[in-house]
Every structure is written in C-alpha cells, then in structure tokens.
Structure 1
Amino acid sequence: MSTYPNVNETKELIKQLVSIPSPTGYTANVIQFAEDFLKNLNVETKRSRKGGLLAMLPGKNQDEHRMLTAHVDTLGAMVKEVKSSGRLKLDLIGGFRYNSIEGEYCEIHTSSGKTYTGTILMHQTSVHVYKDAGKAERNQENMEVRIDAEVSSPEEVRELGIEVGDFVSFDPRVEITENGFIKSRHLDDKASVAILLQLIKRLKEENVTLPYTTHFLISNNEEIGYGGNSNITPETVEYLAIDMGAMGDGQSTDEYTVSICVKDATGPYHYGLRKRLVELAEKNSIEYKLDIYPYYGSDASAAIKSGHDIVHGLIGPGIDSSHAFERTHEKSLINTEKLIYHYVLSDMIAY
C-alpha cells in the first residue's frame, strides 16, 4: 500500500482547476481538463447530456453500487445589459452577493470565442465625484463591468462581439502559501474535484479492487441546484457528495479537518451513513468535525429531491469565506481525502 499521495500535487491540481473559467453553463473547458486527467489514467469516461463527466471503477459487488460526486461549476455572471456608457450590467449565476465581487477583475467570454478582460465596479466608485459612494447599495443597478477596451457606447461594445448572455468569470486570485494555506475563489468546489481526481489516481496506481462498483460524477450544475440529480444507476445505494464545509459563527467546521455534514437547508443527511463516516474517521485517526450548514444544498440533496431511493451523505474540506475570497489548508485536504479513501474501501453499506 502506498503512502498518502503528495498533498503538493493536490494543491497544484486545485491551482490548475480554479484557473480555468467555469461559471455554471460555461463548463466545457474544465470538464475537458478532468476528462483528459482521467484518460491519462486509462479510466473510461462519458459525458452526460447536461455536460457532466462520469467515470466508473468496477468492484466485487456489482449488485449494489456507490456514487461519489464533486462539482466543477462555479459562481459567475452573465451580461444582462450593454449600458449607454459602454459598460455592462450583470446578472449573477449562483448564490452570492454583489459586494463579494466589487473591485474584482473578470473576463467576458463572447459566443464567438473571444475573451475580453474587465473590472467589476460600483458606478459611483470615484469619491472625488460621488459624495455618497460608500453608502450606495451594492446591487445590480449600481454595479457594472468596465471593459478593458476603448468603448463608450453600446454600438462600440457590440462591435467587439460582446452581447447580452455572454458569460462573465471572476479572477480566482489563487495563491498557495509556504505554511500550507491555499486561497482562491472557487475552492467551492474545485478543491473537492481535485481530491476526487487524486483519489481515482491513487486507486489506479495501487490496482485496488473496490468492494462495491463505484461511480464518480464531476457535475456541472450544482451552483444552480440540479447538477447531481441524474445519471444515477438503479444499483446505486449510497451517494456521497464531496463539497465544501462552511465556516462562520456557530459552526464547528475549520480549515484543518474534514467536515461531515449532518444537516443542511434541505434536511438531515442519512444517519446511518453519517455514523459510518464517523466510525471510519475515528478508526483511521482522521480529524473531523460534525456540522450543520443552514443555507446550503448539495448534489446529494438534489439527488434525494429528484426521487432517487438512495442513502445520501456530504463531506468536504473546511472552506473559510464561502462564495467570496475562500481559503483552506492542506491539513483539511489530507483529512478529506483520507476519509474518502477509507470510505470507498469499506465493505459495509449504511442502510
């Protein structure tokens, strides 16, 4: 049995993933990246009609299957309107607030394939002009994109090929520190995607035969609520979403352990699977925290709501400042991957 994979590889994989723009609805490039990664491991993949990526590792038990998911789509925006000034009004993709993107660099992805850079700003940014610049509400009416091009009218903007409906992605500003932190936008959920890809790599390198046939879904519509609610085989009995653990007041989740979610906004996760995950963590000296995420839903909860008769669970690395300038630590990545590794090798179904 090999030692734990080099966490530096996981961090580098996260850096590569967050650097590929992929707001929900614009995920083809990052799905291709994941597909190429798995093909290099000789893992067969297929695309769902929704654009997600599916892979499978056969197990001893082919009558009862497991499924693990992580989502590669991120928060982002679309061009809502080309304003008379030549700036752009945005419409948000995903659940976040305008204040979290104020001053952010962005890219506008046109339908012709061209990309333009810009900055997301308040219309009333200049304190030398707008007396109440600090008091103005951060909302769709007041925030706009300043395009890095010589444009001052809708006609000039459209000559560039920019139009309503073009996707807008945010600069991840990814940075890996010497003391183990990784900070970036879109760690939700590309940190977990990297962990899942690294897990598959380890299983292939160790030539492990899993106790249960196990499916892997890199979903691409989670941020809008339905990424992982389909392509679940009838044999699937356990469904584990790998997503971020949310931190804040009243939360036990931190940046150094794996978070095991017991309940989110959709209700409790399966009690038996939760207890099984805790048992595996304690047996294998994995540091974990149990937590409730009050304003949260996952691919697993989407699968339950769509009517699948499955046992569902949710775990993930602890992420600070979710849906904004996120940060986690390599200790959380390690503990999360360890728990998933021991879970897929476990020979007990939770129901």
Structure 2
Amino acid sequence: MPRLDVDIDYLGDQLKALLAIPSPTGFTDAITHAVVDELQRLGVEPEVTRRGAIRARLKGRVKDPSRALIAHLDTLGAQVKYLKPNGRLELVPIGNWSARFAEGARCTVFTEHGAYRGSILPLKASGHTYADEVDTQPTGWPYVEVRVDALARDAADLNRLGFHVGDVVAIDTGTEFLDNGFIVSRHLDDKAGVAILLAALKAMVDSGKTPPVDTWWVFSIAEEVGLGAAAVLPHDVAAMVTVDNGTTAPGQASDEFGVTIAMADQTGPFDYHLTHELIRLARDNDIRHQRDVFRYYRSDSASALEAGADVRTALVTFGVDASHGYERIHMHALRSLAELLTAYATSPIDIKRDAKLVGSIEGFPHQTIEPAEPDIEPDETLPADG
C-alpha cells in the first residue's frame, strides 16, 4: 500500500513536548498521562497496565493476525546511591550509559518532599585546585557526584532537606531543533520513536483508512533496563515492529537520513519475513533506507521474545549519532520512519497462517535457498583470458 502523508509539524511538536517530560525508567507516570491524553485527543482509546505501559488498538477489517508497533517512553537516568559526608550525592545509573556523558550535566533530583536542581560533577571539578588532575582522574560512576543547588554541607543537611538513597535523578535534555533539520538532545532514544508512532497514528486517523487487521500502538516503560515489551504486548499479536534508535558510528551502516532497518542485534537475527516485508515496502514507496547489524544493542523485540511471546519481530530505526550520549538525529529520518509505518499498517497480510498460534504446515512460508541468477553475464564483467 502507498505511504500516507505525515504531519511533520505535529511530529516535531510532539517530540518537543515529550522531551520536556522527565521519564527515567521507574519514573514514567507523567509521560504515561501525557501520551494517554494525546491518544484520546486523536480519538483512540488506550489501555494502561498497572505500572503504566500503554496500548491502543486501531480496529482493522478483521481481527487476526493482529499487528503491533512499539516504542518506549522511558529514558536513561540515575538514582541516588549514597548521601556523602561532603553534602553531595553519589549516583548509580539507570540503564546502560557512561558517566563520561554525565559529567557537567544539569539534573533534577526527585525527593519525597519535592524536586531539587543540581549539577553532576567529577570529584575533582576545580581546575584552580586540582590543576592537571582534573584531566587525569578516572572516568566512571564512582568518580562523579551531584552538587545540589541547596544549602547542603554534609549528609545531615541532605537528610534535613529530604534526600534519600534511591531518589530518582533526571538528566536535562539540552534540546535544540535546528533550522537545517538536525535535532540535538539527550533522550531522543526513544522519545523520537514515540513521536514517530503518534505521527503515524495521526496520519492513519486523518486518512480515514482502516487497516486490514487490528493494529496496536504500544508504548513500553522499562526498555532501558531490559524489560520493555515483556508485559504489555496483547497475546493475539502475530507481528511486532519496534521503533528505536540506530547507531551511526564507524563500522555501522546506519544513517541519520532515511530508515535504518536492523537485520540483527546482540540477541540474534530479526524475523526474516517481517524484516524483508519492511524492506520491500520501503523500496516500493521510494523511502530511503539502509540495513545494519547492531552488536551491542537490544530492544523491545528481545524482551517480548524472552517473555515467551511467539511473535515475529522487526526493528526499524532512526539513525542517532552518539547514542546514549549527546544524541543527534535528523527530521528526514523521523518522517521516513513514520511514512514506512503507515505503509506497513495499511499493507495486506503476507502470511495469513499467522492468525493461528499453531497449526499444520499448510501456508507456512519459505525462505529462498535456490542459487541466485546473475543479473549480467560473466563475460560482461570479467576480463578475457590472456
């Protein structure tokens, strides 16, 4: 099916709004409320799990085999590990990210008594005191601390102010939307994915098109700690497309433009048929795309399979430079991804047998194993003998 028109201004506005809401894993209530409000505004009534994951169904012409599109609401962050004698806070990370990218960040510490602002600093932060030791000290979470913007000279002051071990720390985004289409911010992983899903849903609603099967828009809340889709995916979903970040770095094929379709990550290959269906849709709809393999990466797809879901999974990504650090993306990739999702959501079902959880071999697909036919004759490409 042809891709639908995507409202780019809406996509950008949603991303700005999402980035303004702190949502480290375990502290996602506010963003759950915001996304539910937006889904209801679009005319789709969502369901919310006990802990705040969201799923919303766009009814299809038939129910099965239903599809799902998923992105995650939670981001990286930190927690207070220890109230230090010097009146500062020791941290442990939420999710897997380097303290190198935490140094110098502004942050908010959420206590039972309210929020406090602060800065994450290396232990030796003053060049006038430590000189070259500022540059030679080790990097790591034991070597940074939060300087709270309140009168806190020691641990007793911190206790008096209401700080406790386990308080959640949200890292400021430092967001910039540039006129040339680049977007620089922390937490683009995966708030850009959430904005893409909302923009694709809006395109579906605005077009009035009914998907061929029930299609779920799913938002998980604990992807950064490996849980993700484990407890939110409807049991009747046969295919799930995850939207997340791709890593643009040396040795990777990901790009900040177009769609990067993942062929595998550290958990293994993605579903052959679903992945190649997305490649075909991108090709047929003239959507720029490239393929990549991620060695140190997992997503909502892995958590769904590990939880026991017998579901075909694929991963489509927007290229992120410096993922889990000072991230940068381009609006071209976000638009391309949203367009691909609309093409997928309106496309006919390739494997109708997937409507049944188990069945006979009849209708089970084939993977190509025959020798390839060359596009050109060998004598057109190889030099003549002698």
1:3 offset after TM fit, Å? 6.5
User: How is 1:197-346 mapped onto 2 (pairs within 5 angstroms)?
Assistant: 197-346=198-347
Distance 1:207 1:3 in 2: 11
1:234 offset after TM fit, Å? 3.0
What do the CA deviations read for 1:10-48 (whole angstroms, capped 9, x no partner)? Answer: 122111111110000000001111000011122111211
Maintained 8 Å contact 2:65/2:236? yes
Q: TM-score, normalised by structure 1?
A: 0.97
1:200 offset after TM fit, Å? 1.2
- Secondary structure at the residue paired with 1:336? helix
Distance 2:46 2:170 in 1: 27
Count of equivalent residues: 350
1:247 offset after TM fit, Å? 1.2
Task: Give the match for residue 137 of structure 2.
Answer: 136
User: How is 1:21-170 mapped onto 2 (pairs within 5 angstroms)?
Assistant: 21-112=22-113, 114-131=114-131, 132-170=133-171
Distance 2:151 2:93 in 1: 25
Maintained 8 Å contact 1:229/1:300? no
User: RMSD of aligned C-alpha atoms?
Assistant: 1.4
AA in 1 matched with 2:40: K
Distance 2:69 2:331 in 1: 21
- Secondary structure at the residue paired with 1:188? helix
Distance 2:140 2:321 in 1: 24
- Secondary structure at the residue paired with 1:347? coil
Determine which structure has more spread, i.e. the larger CA radius of gyration: 2
Maintained 8 Å contact 2:183/2:331? yes
Distance 2:259 2:36 in 1: 26
Which stretches in structure 1 are left out of the alignment for 5+ residues? none
- Secondary structure at the residue paired with 1:260? strand
1:50 offset after TM fit, Å? 2.9
- How many percent of aligned residue pairs carry the same amino acid? 36
Maintained 8 Å contact 1:252/1:289? yes
Q: TM-score, normalised by structure 2?
A: 0.88
What do the CA deviations read for 1:316-337 (whole angstroms, capped 9, x no partner)? Answer: 2111110011111111111111
Distance 2:43 2:258 in 1: 31
- Secondary structure at the residue paired with 2:344? helix
Which stretches in structure 2 are left out of the alignment for 5+ residues? 352-364, 366-386
What do the CA deviations read for 1:297-341 (whole angstroms, capped 9, x no partner)? Answer: 010111112211111100021111100111111111111111111
Distance 2:259 2:176 in 1: 21
- Secondary structure at the residue paired with 1:182? strand
Q: Note closer, same or farther for the CA distance 1:303–1:2 as it changes in structure 2 (3 Å cut).
A: closer
- Secondary structure at the residue paired with 1:183? strand
Q: Note closer, same or farther for the CA distance 1:141–1:3 as it changes in structure 2 (3 Å cut).
A: closer
